[in-house]
Structure 1
Amino acid sequence: MPTKLDITETLVRQPLQPLANSGLAPYLLRPAMLRTMPLPDEHGFRTIVSRKFVDVKNEGTVYVEFDDAAGAYRATDLYKKQPQGPALYKNDGEATWSQRLQARETVSLKRSLANESVLETTLPDKHPKVQSPGEQRSVTDTPASSRPSITQQGQNPRTQLIDGPLKSLYPDKTANELETLLRSYNLSPGQQTRLHKDMLENLKIPEWAEQHKQMSSETGNPHRHDLLYSEIEPNLRHLRNGTATTGLYELHLSLTNEFLDSFLVKAGYSRNRNNCLYRTDIPAVFRGDERTPFELANDGWMLPRYNHKPYATTQKAMSVTVSLKAAKMYGADEPDPEYLLYNSQTNKYPGKQPDDDSDASDVSDVSATSQIASSGSESDSSLQLDLERNYETTRHKQQIQFVYAIDSRNMEIVLGEENHAFNRAANGPNWFPEDDLEALLSVSRRGISADRIWVFDSGYQKAVRVKDLQDHADAADDSYARRVEERTHSGANNTDEYDRLITEVAAAGKPVLLLSGNKEWFANDIVWPSLSENQS
């Protein structure tokens, strides 16, 4: 006899989306804003420049401010365009928050989960999840308790010190005063851990910490940053490459402003007129781009392609990436149709497709000044701009893009991850592109010299200079490069033709950048070949 089946309605997890009536939708942050946020502390706060953000369970992350009238933190619009939202409360035993008495389950004909705590959230998983955030306590700025205690595992050493030994040693000081006191010692993360251990054994600030505080205040002492540098410098490339496993996002809370700024100089950073950190010692950056290597070689420059807001770099900003893998992803996409309305990078105004009978003169004015940079009306470019309007486009069917390596030595590069980590100005609205591993190269209005631009083959293991590619094609047949480019513009997937030319250029003894395919390549991994040894 077949076994009788009983079907019972039970509660299960559904795809996690903000509830329509939750009231939080206008306050949820975009995912791109979360990538560099610090981990939640034991109170569930992600803190950036005294601003508090919380992860609302199963919904997302919001900015919060304390409402004295409600006696609770409330979701708040970061840009103050919305009134304050719902009150939020920390979930017991978790690093997440929620609105009270809010049902999260729906009915379904499936087996119930054994424990609601296994539900996943929609938050990005770049950082490890907090396992033991500790019990909730009031975060109002009131005098601390005098009873020493061992703090919860998972807290950073700065928080452990403030909530533990320092709170016991100075019971009349507020949390803000204790934070200011600790910053005055300019301790590295390792020193903070050592101090916490020493103060648990003997409730006083040890002599070595006092000596370090004194040395760190001596601006003429060449060794005052040595210990901090030895801890932080090995992690800088991991931070830049998105592979860091150690949090470096709270140095501004652990160090005085003067000490941090002088340390950043020692670590190789400078500040530009926009107060953004930049470096000039990055050997290479990468870019996916629809412009052919022949166009760049003939013009002699790669012009800035997009009108980035001038909030980060000293001159015009060109978007690049520190990851070859990321550039390959950009290069794998189809070209932006808006870019393909320009027959060349020297067209000041876009054209129109052959079947478009509209008068696009007004549109041309808007497009040229809003997003597409070309070289701009104030250009100092040596290139002659083409001022024609309503011309017929020739490349609107193009399907392929190219991946370029750019020799960025001695050029100003504003790096996204480092600015988010070390520069509080980086947290201002709209100053920096949102993509992971993106950087901005500071260039003149005429852009980057073609001498610095190398084009990869389709396997991304071999690159040659665009000028050498052009010269090699012209040497064999002065119209061959033009025919290859025309096929590209007409929509042909002719990457094989470029691959063949790149192989021939390398075989001819021209400089070639060779990369193995068994690793992920980043900006600082690139070692450029010597031009003098290879160039004939």
Structure 2
Amino acid sequence: MEFDAAMGLYRAKLRNELTASGPWLLLNADGKTWRLASPAQKRPVVDEQSGPSQKRPLIEEQPGPSLPAIPPRLPSAETETAPIYVEMARTNAEVRGKLLEQLQVRMNSRGAHNSLEEVAAAMKPYNLSNRQLTQMLAEIQTDGTAPQWAENHKQTSMDETNVNRFDDTYQELLPEILSLRNNGQGFTDFNANFTRPYLDGLLAYAGYNRNKYNCLYRTDIPAMFRGDDRTPFEFVRDGHMLPRADLGEGSTSQKAVSATFSLLDAKKYISRFGKQSGIEELQYNTQYHKYPGDLNNTPSRDTDLSDGDSDGGGSGSDNESGRVKEKDYYPKRHNQSIAFCYLFDTRNIEIVPARENYHFNRDALEQSKKTGGKTWFPDDDLEGHISVSTRGFSADRIWLVNSTFTRAARVNDIYSQSYDHTETSSRGEADMIEEMTWAGANNMGDYDALIDQVAAANKPVINFPVGKEVFSNDVVFAPDVATPASV
């Protein structure tokens, strides 16, 4: 595949070709296939259609083939060193850079001394795609006078009733989004090339919303991943997963839970567990304990959870329901040596992505600093914040991934499966497995076995391809796996 700057389209290319000679192509709505495209006309067609302003609907609402609700993960070939969407994003940026350089030469041909930044600023009000910028280069006067179609486009690009005003730029935005989310890297500075109102409209068209902190968020990301020290059975018993750390206000509408868009990224956390991370968390017997335990105590003095609602230190400042305020207890989990990888079902839940906000929404940070606001974005490249209620993230939405990162099952199904394979109904296999984990056993195989038993019982599981990176948008839930009502 090769991008032709003159035509503003991609073109099929044989392996032995230096210059692409195949047909012109456009990406289909499924993000995986291509369709034939007619070469661009000499003059860009500016659609003057009027009608109600359109926001791209969620995929379930679409009556037929249209733009996807989620920027799809484009297919990658094993022979490529980077996914196709990364190469597309990089190519788009390189093409725009070369076009601006050529415009600089043309505009300076009469002795002017416009810098590249000044040329970009001069083009910014026109809100041009690479295809349109190519046409601008061919027709702009040496004194900088733009052709009439460009002046018309400047106006129509800001017309909210123009249903086609994002057609070209959306094709360039898609690979940029995927490169940011899955690769942590962007290439085109959209803030420098498009006016703020136009860019805000484009982002809304692409599925972004803004919360009370002015952070960009999406509700159509199907899943996220997290490495965590807590066992799946703890989440089932409690009914929810509480945020492991208080991330404070400023990113999500409600409480924030940190997660990653990459299964591999969650795997890296697990590989560091007990060495570089996770030690402090093991000093808490449950996720409801406010204070860590004391290793100077003995296991026999360990306080039962039901007796732990007294405020041993007289704090009295924690109003969160169900918090355990005892301090004088032995941390029964401090020998734990393994951590777990979880998949979160995040359908219809607010997610604030890190890189997409830094790349497209840095004005929100700058404005917040000026006004003394609380706005901030997640820190890590592949990180996103999930917005959850004060109760936490529902266990109905949590799946445990096995130790080979090839299969996941719902924690509720895993827990119930453990009782289906025990002779007593008062103590399930899960309780014994969990106690072994707390004692320091490397017993991930026990959890893997339960996941396989869930699959054998024809309960829902998610299978991941072996040897391929898996990202949030790769996760597809079976039609019979309904979106949980609880968050």
Shorter-chain-normalised TM-score: which range? 0.5 to 0.7
Aligned ranges 1:295-306 → 2 under 5 Å = 295-306=234-245
Aligned to 2:187: 247
Deviation at 1:237, TM superposition (A): 1.9
Distance 1:190 1:331 in 2: 45
Say if 1:157 and 1:192, in contact at 8 Å, map to a contact too.
no
Aligned to 1:470: 415
Aligned to 1:206: 147
Q: 1:199 to 1:296 in 2, by over 3 A?
A: same
SS in 1 for 2:126: coil
Q: 1:488 to 1:432 in 2, by over 3 A?
A: same
Q: Equivalent of 1:314, from 253, 274, 277?
A: 253
SS in 2 for 1:164: helix
Deviation at 1:388, TM superposition (A): 1.6
SS in 2 for 1:318: strand
Aligned ranges 1:69-108 → 2 under 5 Å = none
Aligned to 1:237: 178
Q: Which has the larger radius of gyration?
A: 1
Aligned to 1:339: 281
Deviation at 1:276, TM superposition (A): 1.0
Deviation at 1:420, TM superposition (A): 1.7
Say if 2:288 and 2:323, in contact at 8 Å, map to a contact too.
yes
Aligned to 2:477: 528
Aligned ranges 1:368-379 → 2 under 5 Å = 377-379=318-320
Q: 1:309 to 1:194 in 2, by over 3 A?
A: farther
Deviation at 1:252, TM superposition (A): 1.0
Aligned to 2:442: 493
Q: 1:461 to 1:426 in 2, by over 3 A?
A: farther
Q: 1:515 to 1:393 in 2, by over 3 A?
A: same
Q: 1:241 to 1:177 in 2, by over 3 A?
A: closer
Distance 2:164 2:411 in 1: 46
Aligned to 1:401: 339
Distance 2:376 2:270 in 1: 25
Say if 1:309 and 1:431, in contact at 8 Å, map to a contact too.
no
Q: Equivalent of 1:506, from 452, 455, 458?
A: 455
Residues 226-258 of structure 1: CA deviation (Å, up to 9, x unaligned)? 2211222244223311176x713x111111111
Distance 2:326 2:241 in 1: 20
**One-letter code aligned to 1:298:** R
Distance 1:314 1:257 in 2: 23
**One-letter code aligned to 2:392:** G
Say if 2:291 and 2:326, in contact at 8 Å, map to a contact too.
yes
Q: 1:216 to 1:475 in 2, by over 3 A?
A: same
SS in 2 for 1:274: coil
Deviation at 1:466, TM superposition (A): 0.4
Aligned ranges 1:77-476 → 2 under 5 Å = 156-157=97-98, 159-160=100-101, 163-167=104-108, 171=112, 179-199=120-140, 204-242=145-183, 247-248=187-188, 250-335=189-274, 336-354=278-296, 377-379=318-320, 384-425=322-363, 431-476=376-421
Structure 2: gaps (5+ residues): 1-85, 88-93, 300-310, 370-374, 483-487
Q: 1:203 to 1:316 in 2, by over 3 A?
A: closer
Distance 1:230 1:277 in 2: 20
Deviation at 1:446, TM superposition (A): 1.4
Distance 1:243 1:305 in 2: 24
Q: 1:306 to 1:190 in 2, by over 3 A?
A: farther
Structure 1: gaps (5+ residues): 1-126, 129-152, 358-363, 370-375
Deviation at 1:205, TM superposition (A): 1.8
Deviation at 1:412, TM superposition (A): 0.6
Q: 1:356 to 1:197 in 2, by over 3 A?
A: farther
- Equivalences, count: 365
Q: 1:164 to 1:311 in 2, by over 3 A?
A: farther
**One-letter code aligned to 1:515:** F
Aligned to 1:55: none
Q: 1:236 to 1:169 in 2, by over 3 A?
A: farther
Distance 1:183 1:170 in 2: 22
**One-letter code aligned to 2:235:** L
Distance 1:258 1:203 in 2: 24
Q: What is the aligned-residue RMSD (CA, Å)?
A: 3.2
Which of structures 1 and 2 has the larger relative contact order (alpha carbons within 8 angstroms, sep 6+)? 2
Deviation at 1:309, TM superposition (A): 3.3
Q: 1:200 to 1:295 in 2, by over 3 A?
A: same
Deviation at 1:207, TM superposition (A): 2.9
**One-letter code aligned to 1:216:** S
Distance 1:262 1:334 in 2: 43
**One-letter code aligned to 2:442:** N
Deviation at 1:215, TM superposition (A): 1.1
Deviation at 1:355, TM superposition (A): 5.5
**One-letter code aligned to 2:464:** L
TM-score, normalised to structure 2's length? 0.68
Distance 2:205 2:449 in 1: 46
Say if 1:455 and 1:466, in contact at 8 Å, map to a contact too.
yes
SS in 1 for 2:386: strand
**One-letter code aligned to 2:325:** L
Distance 2:215 2:286 in 1: 32
Say if 2:273 and 2:338, in contact at 8 Å, map to a contact too.
yes
Distance 1:260 1:270 in 2: 13
TM-score, normalised to structure 1's length? 0.62
**One-letter code aligned to 1:266:** Y
Deviation at 1:172, TM superposition (A): 9.0
Deviation at 1:165, TM superposition (A): 3.1
Deviation at 1:216, TM superposition (A): 0.8
Q: 1:532 to 1:439 in 2, by over 3 A?
A: closer
Say if 1:157 and 1:193, in contact at 8 Å, map to a contact too.
no
Residues 409-463 of structure 1: CA deviation (Å, up to 9, x unaligned)? 0111111121121111466689234322111111112111001000011111111
